[in-house]
Amino acid sequence: MDEQTWYSIKAKYPIDSFVRGKVIKHKPFGIFLDIGEPGVTGLIRIVDFVDVGEMREDMYPPIGATIGGIIYENSDSTNAQINITTKPSAIHDFLMNLRKQDEIDPTYLQDM
Protein backbone atom coordinates (compact mmCIF):
# COMPACT_ATOMS: atom_id res chain seq x y z
CA MET A 1 0.00 0.00 0.00
CA ASP A 2 1.38 3.43 -0.86
CA GLU A 3 2.10 5.97 1.88
CA GLN A 4 -0.63 8.40 0.78
CA THR A 5 -3.35 5.74 0.95
CA TRP A 6 -2.09 4.51 4.32
CA TYR A 7 -2.03 8.07 5.66
CA SER A 8 -5.69 8.46 4.63
CA ILE A 9 -6.62 5.17 6.30
CA LYS A 10 -4.87 6.18 9.54
CA ALA A 11 -6.73 9.49 9.49
CA LYS A 12 -10.02 7.63 9.08
CA TYR A 13 -9.16 5.21 11.94
CA PRO A 14 -7.34 7.29 14.56
CA ILE A 15 -5.84 5.97 17.78
CA ASP A 16 -8.40 5.76 20.63
CA SER A 17 -11.37 5.38 18.27
CA PHE A 18 -13.86 2.52 18.11
CA VAL A 19 -13.83 0.13 15.16
CA ARG A 20 -15.82 -2.97 14.23
CA GLY A 21 -14.76 -5.82 12.04
CA LYS A 22 -15.54 -9.38 11.02
CA VAL A 23 -13.28 -12.15 12.32
CA ILE A 24 -11.49 -13.65 9.31
CA LYS A 25 -8.62 -15.65 10.79
CA HIS A 26 -7.49 -17.26 14.05
CA LYS A 27 -3.79 -17.52 14.93
CA PRO A 28 -2.13 -18.65 18.17
CA PHE A 29 -1.16 -15.02 18.89
CA GLY A 30 -4.56 -13.45 18.13
CA ILE A 31 -7.27 -12.88 15.57
CA PHE A 32 -7.49 -10.89 12.35
CA LEU A 33 -10.47 -8.73 11.39
CA ASP A 34 -11.77 -7.42 8.11
CA ILE A 35 -12.60 -3.79 8.94
CA GLY A 36 -13.97 -3.01 5.49
CA GLU A 37 -10.88 -1.35 4.01
CA PRO A 38 -9.24 -3.12 1.07
CA GLY A 39 -5.74 -4.29 1.95
CA VAL A 40 -6.06 -3.39 5.65
CA THR A 41 -6.55 -5.84 8.51
CA GLY A 42 -7.32 -5.37 12.16
CA LEU A 43 -5.41 -7.45 14.71
CA ILE A 44 -6.47 -8.27 18.24
CA ARG A 45 -3.56 -9.97 19.98
CA ILE A 46 -4.36 -12.62 22.55
CA VAL A 47 -3.03 -10.29 25.27
CA ASP A 48 -5.46 -7.56 24.14
CA PHE A 49 -8.66 -9.44 25.00
CA VAL A 50 -8.65 -9.34 28.80
CA ASP A 51 -7.20 -7.21 31.59
CA VAL A 52 -6.72 -10.10 33.98
CA GLY A 53 -6.89 -13.83 33.67
CA GLU A 54 -6.03 -15.94 30.70
CA MET A 55 -7.33 -15.77 27.16
CA ARG A 56 -6.99 -18.97 25.17
CA GLU A 57 -7.44 -19.72 21.48
CA ASP A 58 -10.51 -21.82 22.22
CA MET A 59 -12.14 -18.67 23.64
CA TYR A 60 -11.75 -16.64 20.40
CA PRO A 61 -14.91 -15.34 18.76
CA PRO A 62 -15.85 -17.55 15.81
CA ILE A 63 -14.84 -16.84 12.22
CA GLY A 64 -17.50 -14.57 10.74
CA ALA A 65 -18.44 -12.93 14.05
CA THR A 66 -18.52 -9.13 14.12
CA ILE A 67 -16.73 -7.61 17.10
CA GLY A 68 -15.54 -4.17 18.06
CA GLY A 69 -12.71 -2.65 19.98
CA ILE A 70 -10.50 0.36 20.48
CA ILE A 71 -7.63 1.19 18.13
CA TYR A 72 -4.36 1.62 20.00
CA GLU A 73 -1.73 1.45 17.26
CA ASN A 74 -1.30 1.57 13.49
CA SER A 75 1.50 -0.25 11.70
CA ASP A 76 3.44 1.14 8.77
CA SER A 77 2.16 1.06 5.19
CA THR A 78 4.01 -2.19 4.48
CA ASN A 79 1.86 -4.17 6.93
CA ALA A 80 -1.29 -2.02 6.67
CA GLN A 81 -2.51 -3.29 10.02
CA ILE A 82 -4.57 -1.67 12.75
CA ASN A 83 -4.02 -3.01 16.27
CA ILE A 84 -7.16 -3.23 18.39
CA THR A 85 -7.91 -4.00 22.01
CA THR A 86 -11.10 -5.35 23.55
CA LYS A 87 -9.86 -5.14 27.13
CA PRO A 88 -12.68 -4.03 29.42
CA SER A 89 -10.48 -1.24 30.82
CA ALA A 90 -9.92 0.21 27.32
CA ILE A 91 -13.64 0.02 26.49
CA HIS A 92 -14.45 1.68 29.82
CA ASP A 93 -11.96 4.50 29.20
CA PHE A 94 -13.37 5.02 25.70
CA LEU A 95 -16.92 5.27 27.01
CA MET A 96 -15.88 7.60 29.84
CA ASN A 97 -14.17 9.90 27.34
CA LEU A 98 -17.36 9.98 25.27
CA ARG A 99 -19.33 10.86 28.35
CA LYS A 100 -16.99 13.73 29.18
CA GLN A 101 -17.53 15.40 25.82
CA ASP A 102 -19.81 18.40 25.95
CA GLU A 103 -21.65 17.39 22.82
CA ILE A 104 -22.06 13.78 21.71
CA ASP A 105 -23.47 13.02 18.30
CA PRO A 106 -26.24 10.46 19.04
CA THR A 107 -25.81 8.84 15.63
CA TYR A 108 -22.22 7.98 16.58
CA LEU A 109 -23.43 5.90 19.52
CA GLN A 110 -26.05 4.19 17.36
CA ASP A 111 -23.32 2.93 15.01
CA MET A 112 -21.58 1.01 17.81
For residue 112, is it within any domain?
no
Give the pLDDT confidence of 79-101 residue by residue, as tens digits. 889 999 999 999 888 888 877 66
For residue 111, is it within any domain?
no
For residue 110, is it within any domain?
no
**pLDDT given for residue 109 in this prediction:** 54
CB atoms under 10 Å from CB of 9, counted, come to 19
**pLDDT given for residue 97 in this prediction:** 81
Note the pTM of the prediction, 2 decimals. Answer: 0.83
CATH number at residue 36: 2.40.50.140
For residue 94, is it within any domain?
yes
For residue 8, is it within any domain?
yes
Q: What is the mean pLDDT of residues 1-28?
A: 92
Give the pLDDT confidence of 35-77 residue by residue, as tens digits. 999 999 999 999 999 999 999 999 999 999 999 999 999 887 6
Q: Which of 111, 66, 81, 86 is nearest to 9 (CA)?
A: 81
Structural domain harbouring 44? 3-105
Domain count, the chain: 1
